[in-house]
Amino acid sequence: MKSLTEREEEVMNFFWERRALSVRELLDLHDEPRPSRTTVATFVKFLEQKGYLDHRAESFGFVYFPIIEREEYCGHNLKSVIKRYFDNSIHNVVNFLIKSEEYSDEEAKEMILQISKAEKE
């Protein structure tokens, strides 16, 4: 799976939330100042080339839709981060999260409980 830039992820989020969009509909979803139609069409073209979108012809033009789901994309990226930065160990991830002190003791216990449940399945 090819990686996405931050901007490409933002565009994909529109598709994941709304399922199918024309370039015009996608453009209308952007906040002001809106990018140009050409810019949006270019992002859609790149996402299609990377295998994230496909299209179908409608009476008013093409409608694009995701062929990679958000969960699949997030799962792929999470596995990549765990492999690259945590020696492919979920235990190293949990230790890091607990030591980061950004989570309460209750949240840490919940993480450990979820891991235990997953290991039993």
Structure tokens at 81: 């981060």
Helix axes 90-99, 105-120, angle to 10 degrees: 170
Domain boundaries, the chain: 6-66, 70-120
Instruction: Give CA–CA dist 86/84, Å, rounded.
Output: 6
What pLDDT is stored for residue 33 in this prediction?
92
What pLDDT is stored for residue 77 in this prediction?
95
Could you give the percent of the chain with pLDDT greater than 90?
A: 72
What pLDDT is stored for residue 7 in this prediction?
94
Topology of domain 6-66, CATH: Arc Repressor Mutant, subunit A (1.10.10)
